[in-house]
């Protein structure tokens, strides 16, 4: 009874507009924007499942890594062969890629030939199919007079789902598109092709890359548009690929850079995710297919099924009496009689109705005008649904790319291929419109692949060849910074010899080993108010330090920081010290203590010869200071003279100390085992408590200990480090203010590491390995690459997009690949610096252990400096190196929280106590 009512309802509508009649009948195929957003969100969720190692096995959208890590950058060059296998015919091509040179524009020249594949090979043995492919390849080489002796790199477009573990390896997961060749599923198709080429013989072909047609399309289009990072196929089959952040691809090791992922979205919905959008016609298509329950999304949208969907709808409407007066022809009942080509013809703008009438007549039907309008509209609804669903999937991909890169808006290009997109008169326009509606925050350009996916296979091969060559050359460059354990052992031995030589009276030594006249570390009884000055870089600090002893033992600091302009740093000594005294005056005014004559400790972070704790003759400036009439003069006297010139206040200058000694004393106040100080910041230095008997400069008969300021940055001034110094270090030294001096410091300190990196980047760019060979003015500017950028760039939590932002702020327009290389350069330079500091520290702790005749030494190192504090890996690499080179020493590293200013006050307090005890 219900069927009768339903039929009468439909017959009552026969006189209505035929398009409305179709719309009413196919209401479930007409998807509105909210439904499309829902589908897009579902697909986004499926993508995440496919990328996760925990859920990939159960995911229907497999998100297969392709191991294509880069799109073309324009520097690709050479001749390549390409095979394109994926339909009833396949193509062999020779692709010549020209890089841009001078006035010659880059481009691609191609010769190709299409070969048929007999149907029996599609369902025969896989080896026979590949033998046929190989024989056709050899025939192509003969026909095009291409040398058989020369080695030819080849890219293989294989348009079937493969699990890849490398760009030249791929295990076939399953056949599609009427292919059923036996013995290949679960096997490496690249290996199968290589074996077939060997069986054919007589040619030297190296298969370098395996790609599917979607990846090939993206690579083809990205050669001409470097924003192209998405590939889309809408033809006999359908698929999409895009450049995913490597850190999100659990199936591939590593987290730097990007990799193209083939979504294999044809299987979307196989797990029921689209069940509420599946119509009775879709279920009928699926049931009659060669793979029921599989590739459901593909069956909704691809050209292989679109025509059949239209046939089933028209057949059902005819049976219900809604078309052709209910007369069903034999042809209309026959599967495959309406093709996707027919669908495209019926929707043509001007000739669509005429084409529809001719197609229906060929099917043995007698259509009225309204019948033709209705069938044409059925085609429109089916193809419109296809473009809507593809738009929803593409919107999910674009949303993911935008979110990955943390962008408010994304500008990107989608490379497209496939007969449906190419030949259907309305499909592309509808797709573009819906995508832009669904993702208004993405500015999307669609580019039709003119050369198909075959050119893309050659481009993948060219990129793979470029990356391999680039990787080798960059690796060779960075290998200069890689130090073996044996080399580090030699640095340790040379440092130890330098320490010993510097303690002796006779002859100059690159390591100065300057006595500090600090005889002990704090014991907790220190107390009082002290003024401290801290000069060691572009900033100058004045501190008031209040020390309490006893049960309420504490140290409280009040300080202000003042800048030292470059013209003062490199002006006259008198101007420098007048500036320092002016800053002290401002501080005393600020604290309301100008009338108090406080004891003062002066942290002066430059090499000084001391004959007492309150004298210090400057040996040489470092860290960019170049003030005249200072070297060879007592800096304490220069400070006293400046105070007299100002004539506003008086101070009792008790001690002049190096920042390294101040750091040791500051940490020793908290940890009595702290007997070493390390500075790893703008400069690099170490001090330690040496036995008085070993310090010839102050007499070998002395008892007890004294802190020695090693000034180890001078190691190498005698050429003992020449075997590890690179050409980049030499360039940095040559451009420095103190050429030939402080060689160890120039390998290890923050003042120079950024410049070493810049020299490497400049060299790599001039060789065409970075920034597309474009040497900017910024890159040629000394000092522009600050060491702080190393810390930022090497941060484990910093995405490559942020690395690119740092580089762009320096005027360097980088690709993702450039960012990876820059990060590697920073890592190589900073790791070497940390290892060298570790080797030096190993020499110091082993010397202390030997001094004391111990089998095992427990000791603490107080550390300060931005490089040690802020660089993400410097401290751990340094500590690992010490542990490796000094296994008999257990070394604890403690950060100095208050810096060397607190240490200067403590030294002053200790000195005051010793004076009182005498």
Q: What band does 916 get if pLDDT is binned at 50, 70 and 90?
A: low
Q: What band does 506 get if pLDDT is binned at 50, 70 and 90?
A: low
Cβ contacts of residue 799 below 8 Å, gap of 6+?
A: 245, 247, 405, 406
Q: Is the model's pLDDT at 412 over the cut of 90?
A: yes
pLDDT tens-place string over residues 740-789: 999 999 999 999 999 999 999 999 999 989 988 888 898 999 988 888 88
The count of other CB atoms within 10 Å of the CB of residue 220 is 28
Q: For residues 115 and 89, is the Cβ–Cβ distance under 8 A?
A: yes
CA distance 104 to 631: 58
CA distance 730 to 781: 17
Q: For residues 747 and 715, is the Cβ–Cβ distance under 8 A?
A: no
Q: For residues 743 and 717, is the Cβ–Cβ distance under 8 A?
A: yes
The count of other CB atoms within 10 Å of the CB of residue 201 is 9
Q: Which residue has the tokens 């599989």?
A: 294
CA distance 815 to 807: 10
Output 327 or 15, whichever has higher pLDDT. Answer: 327
CA distance 154 to 137: 11
Q: Is the model's pLDDT at 127 over the cut of 90?
A: yes
Coil, helix or strand at residue 840: helix
Q: Is the model's pLDDT at 322 over the cut of 90?
A: yes
Q: Is the model's pLDDT at 647 over the cut of 50?
A: yes
Q: Which contiguous run of DSSP H or E holds residue 889?
A: strand 889-895
Instruction: Identify the CA nearest to 794 among candidates 839, 833, 751.
Output: 833
Cα 576 to the center of its chain, rounded Å: 44
Q: Is the model's pLDDT at 90 over the cut of 50?
A: yes
- φ, ψ for residue 724 (rounded to 5)? -115, -5
Q: For residues 236 and 87, is the Cβ–Cβ distance under 8 A?
A: yes
The confidence score (pLDDT) of residue 684 equals: 93
Cα 896 to the center of its chain, rounded Å: 33
Q: Is the model's pLDDT at 638 over the cut of 50?
A: yes
CA distance 454 to 451: 7
CA-angle at 444, arms to 438 and 450, nearest 5°: 125
Q: Is the model's pLDDT at 507 over the cut of 70?
A: no
Q: For residues 638 and 653, is the Cβ–Cβ distance under 8 A?
A: no
The count of other CB atoms within 10 Å of the CB of residue 869 is 15
**What are the E-state strand segments in 418-527?**
442-448, 514-515
Q: What band does 11 get if pLDDT is binned at 50, 70 and 90?
A: very low
The confidence score (pLDDT) of residue 104 equals: 56
The confidence score (pLDDT) of residue 103 equals: 56
CA distance 246 to 229: 14
Greatest pairwise CA separation for the chain in angstroms: 125
Token couple for 749? 């300190």
Q: For residues 305 and 299, is the Cβ–Cβ distance under 8 A?
A: yes
Cα–Cα distances (Å) from 523 to 520, 667, 733, in that order, read: 9, 12, 42
Q: What band does 5 get if pLDDT is binned at 50, 70 and 90?
A: very low
The count of other CB atoms within 10 Å of the CB of residue 660 is 33
CA distance 529 to 534: 16
Output 596 or 433, whichever has higher pLDDT. Answer: 433
Instruction: Identify the CA nearest to 689 among candidates 885, 848, 906.
Output: 848
**What are the E-state strand segments in 848-905?**
857-864, 889-895
pLDDT tens-place string over residues 195-245: 999 999 999 999 988 888 899 899 989 988 989 999 999 998 899 999 999
- φ, ψ for residue 530 (rounded to 5)? -140, 150
The confidence score (pLDDT) of residue 415 equals: 95
CA distance 390 to 458: 27
Cα–Cα distances (Å) from 666 to 72, 202, 669, 682, in that order, read: 55, 77, 6, 19
Instruction: Identify the CA nearest to 169 among candidates 134, 208, 218, 215.
Output: 208
Coil, helix or strand at residue 797: coil
Instruction: Identify the CA nearest to 842 among candidates 688, 667, 671.
Output: 688
Torsion angle of C-alpha atoms 273, 277, 281, 284, degrees rounded to 10: 20
Mean pLDDT calculated for residue range 372-388 = 95
pLDDT tens-place string over residues 420-453: 999 999 999 999 999 999 999 999 999 999 776 6
CA distance 751 to 788: 10
Mean pLDDT calculated for residue range 125-133 = 94
Q: In what side-by-side order are the strands of the sheet with 258-262?
A: 64-65, 258-262, 238-245, 228-234, 410-417, 442-448
Highest mean pLDDT among 141-150, 838-847, 891-900: 838-847
Q: Is the model's pLDDT at 547 over the cut of 90?
A: no
Taking only Cα atoms into account, the Rg of the chain, rounded to an integer number of angstroms, comes to 38
Catalytically active residues, by annotation:
541, 605, 659
Q: Which residue has the tokens 């040489």?
A: 620
Crossing angle (nearest 10°) for helices 369-404 and 352-362: 110
> How is residue 723 annotated by DSSP?
T
- Average the pLDDT over each of 59-63, 287-291, 398-402, 807-811 and give the range with the smallest value: 807-811
Q: For residues 678 and 747, is the Cβ–Cβ distance under 8 A?
A: no
CA-angle at 605, arms to 645 and 498, nearest 5°: 135
Instruction: Identify the CA nearest to 603 among candidates 900, 802, 292, 378.
Output: 900
Mean pLDDT calculated for residue range 658-663 = 88
CA distance 68 to 855: 55
The confidence score (pLDDT) of residue 13 equals: 47
Q: For residues 585 and 579, is the Cβ–Cβ distance under 8 A?
A: no
In the chain, the N- to C-terminal Cα span, in Å, equals: 121
Q: Which contiguous run of DSSP H or E holds residue 632?
A: none
Q: What is the mean pLDDT of the chain?
A: 89
Cβ contacts of residue 503 below 8 Å, gap of 6+?
A: 513, 690, 694, 695, 696, 697, 708
The confidence score (pLDDT) of residue 14 equals: 46
Q: For residues 521 and 892, is the Cβ–Cβ distance under 8 A?
A: no
Using CB atoms within 10 A of its CB, is residue 374 exposed (0-12), middle (13-18) or buried (19+)? buried
Sign of torsion over alpha carbons 612, 618, 620, 624: positive
CA distance 855 to 460: 60
pLDDT tens-place string over residues 680-705: 998 899 999 999 989 887 765 678 89
Q: For residues 167 and 467, is the Cβ–Cβ distance under 8 A?
A: no
Q: For residues 793 and 806, is the Cβ–Cβ distance under 8 A?
A: yes
CA distance 229 to 48: 19
**Percent of the chain that is helix, strand, coil (3-state, to 5):** 45, 20, 35
The confidence score (pLDDT) of residue 798 equals: 64
Q: Is the model's pLDDT at 101 over the cut of 70?
A: no
pLDDT tens-place string over residues 448-499: 997 766 778 788 888 888 888 888 999 999 999 999 999 999 999 999 999 9
pTM attached to this predicted model: 0.74
Coil, helix or strand at residue 883: helix
The confidence score (pLDDT) of residue 308 equals: 96
Q: Which contiguous run of DSSP H or E holds residue 148?
A: none
Instruction: Identify the CA nearest to 444 among candidates 403, 405, 412, 415.
Output: 412
pLDDT tens-place string over residues 834-850: 999 999 999 999 999 99
Cβ contacts of residue 16 below 8 Å, gap of 6+?
A: none
CA distance 436 to 801: 24
The confidence score (pLDDT) of residue 460 equals: 83
Beta bridge partners of 529: 546
Cα–Cα distances (Å) from 616 to 35, 272, 499, 700, 907, in that order, read: 80, 82, 20, 22, 15
Q: Which contiguous run of DSSP H or E holds residue 719?
A: none
The count of other CB atoms within 10 Å of the CB of residue 566 is 11
Crossing angle (nearest 10°) for helices 874-885 and 816-851: 40
Q: What band does 15 get if pLDDT is binned at 50, 70 and 90?
A: low
Instruction: Identify the CA nearest to 159 among candidates 457, 462, 447, 561.
Output: 457
């Amino acid at each position: 009874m219900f069927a009768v009512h339903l039929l009468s309802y439909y017959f009552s509508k026969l006189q209505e507009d035929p398009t409305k009649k179709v719309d009413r009948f196919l209401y479930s195929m007409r998807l509105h924007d909210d439904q499309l957003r829902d589908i897009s969100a579902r697909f986004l969720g499926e993508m995440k499942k496919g990328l996760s190692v925990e859920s990939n096995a159960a995911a229907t959208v497999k998100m297969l890594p392709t191991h294509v890590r880069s799109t073309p950058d324009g520097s690709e060059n050479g001749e390549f062969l390409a095979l394109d296998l994926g339909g009833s015919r396949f193509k062999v091509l020779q692709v010549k890629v020209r890089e841009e040179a001078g006035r010659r524009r880059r481009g691609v020249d191609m010769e190709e030939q299409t070969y048929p594949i007999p149907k029996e090979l599609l369902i025969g043995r896989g080896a026979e199919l590949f033998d046929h492919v190989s024989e056709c390849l050899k025939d192509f080489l003969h026909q095009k007079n291409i040398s058989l002796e020369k080695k030819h790199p080849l890219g293989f477009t294989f348009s079937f789902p493969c699990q890849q573990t490398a760009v030249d390896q791929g295990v076939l997961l399953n056949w599609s598109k009427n292919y059923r060749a036996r013995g290949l599923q679960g096997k490496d198709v690249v290996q199968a092709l290589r074996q077939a080429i060997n069986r054919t013989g007589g040619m030297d072909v190296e298969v370098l890359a395996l790609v599917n047609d979607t990846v090939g399309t993206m690579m083809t289009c990205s050669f001409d548009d470097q924003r192209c990072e998405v590939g889309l196929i809408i033809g006999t089959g359908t698929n999409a690929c895009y450049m995913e952040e490597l850190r999100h691809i659990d199936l591939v090791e590593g987290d730097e850079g990007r990799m193209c992922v083939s979504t294999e979205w044809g299987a979307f919905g196989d797990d029921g995710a689209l069940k509420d959008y599946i119509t009775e016609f879709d279920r009928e298509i699926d049931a009659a297919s060669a793979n029921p329950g599989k590739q459901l999304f593909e069956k909704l949208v691809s050209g292989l099924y679109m025509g059949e969907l239209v046939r089933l709808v028209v057949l059902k409407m005819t049976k219900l009496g809604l078309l052709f007066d209910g007369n069903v022809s034999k042809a209309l009942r026959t599967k495959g009689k309406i093709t996707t080509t027919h669908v495209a013809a019926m929707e043509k703008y001007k000739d669509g109705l005429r084409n529809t009438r001719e197609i229906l007549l060929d099917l043995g039907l007698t259509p009225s005008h309204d019948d033709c309008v209705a069938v044409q509209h059925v085609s429109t609804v089916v193809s419109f649904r296809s473009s809507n669903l593809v738009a929803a999937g593409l919107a999910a991909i674009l949303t993911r790319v935008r979110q990955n890169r943390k962008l408010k808006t994304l500008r990107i290009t989608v490379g497209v291929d496939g007969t449906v997109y190419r030949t259907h008169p309305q499909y592309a326009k509808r797709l573009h419109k819906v995508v832009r509606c669904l993702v208004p925050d993405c500015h999307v350009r669609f580019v039709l692949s003119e050369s198909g996916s075959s050119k893309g296979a050659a481009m993948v091969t060219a990129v793979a060849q470029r990356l391999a060559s680039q990787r080798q050359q960059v690796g060779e460059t960075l290998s200069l910074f890689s130090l073996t354990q044996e080399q580090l052992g030699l640095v340790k031995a040379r440092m130890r010899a330098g320490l010993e030589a510097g303690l002796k009276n006779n002859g100059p030594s690159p390591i100065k080993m300057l006595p500090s006249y600090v005889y002990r570390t704090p014991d907790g009884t220190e107390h009082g108010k002290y003024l401290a000055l801290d000069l060691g870089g572009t900033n100058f600090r004045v501190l008031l330090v209040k020390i309490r002893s006893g049960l309420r033992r504490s140290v409280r600091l009040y300080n202000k920081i003042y800048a030292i302009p470059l013209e003062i740093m490199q002006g006259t000594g008198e101007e420098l010290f007048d500036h320092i005294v002016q800053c002290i005056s401002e501080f005393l005014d600020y604290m309301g203590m100008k009338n108090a004559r406080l004891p003062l400790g002066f942290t002066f972070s430059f090499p000084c010869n001391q004959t007492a704790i309150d004298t210090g003759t400057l040996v040489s400036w470092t860290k960019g200071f170049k003030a005249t009439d200072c070297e060879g003069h007592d800096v304490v006297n220069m400070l006293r003279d400046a105070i007299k010139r100002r004539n506003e206040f008086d101070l009792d200058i008790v001690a002049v100390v190096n920042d390294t000694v101040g750091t040791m004393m500051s940490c020793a106040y908290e940890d009595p085992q702290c007997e070493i100080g390390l500075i790893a910041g703008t400069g690099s230095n170490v001090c330690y408590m040496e036995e008085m008997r070993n310090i010839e400069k102050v007499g070998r008969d002395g008892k007890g200990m004294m802190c020695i300021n090693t000034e180890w940055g001078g190691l190498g001034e005698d050429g003992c480090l020449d075997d590890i110094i690179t050409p980049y270090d030499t360039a940095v030294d040559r451009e420095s203010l103190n050429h030939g001096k402080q060689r160890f410091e120039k390998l290890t300190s923050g003042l120079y590491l950024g410049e070493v990196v810049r020299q490497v980047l400049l060299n790599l760019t001039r060789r065409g390995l970075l920034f597309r060979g474009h040497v900017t003015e910024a890159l040629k500017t000394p000092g522009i690459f600050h060491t702080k950028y190393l810390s930022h760039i090497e941060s484990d939590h910093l995405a490559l997009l942020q690395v690119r932002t740092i580089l762009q702020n320096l005027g360097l327009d980088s690709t993702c690949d450039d960012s990876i290389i820059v990060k590697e350069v920073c890592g190589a330079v900073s790791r070497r610096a940390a290892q060298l500091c570790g080797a030096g520290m190993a020499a110091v702790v082993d010397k202390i252990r030997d001094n004391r005749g111990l089998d095992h030494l427990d000791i603490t190192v107080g550390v300060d400096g931005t490089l040690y504090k802020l660089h993400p890996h410097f401290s751990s690499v340094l500590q690992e190196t010490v542990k490796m080179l000094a296994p008999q020493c257990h070394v604890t590293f403690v950060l100095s929280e208050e810096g060397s200013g607190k240490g200067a006050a403590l030294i002053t307090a200790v000195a005051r106590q010793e004076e009182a005890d005498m």
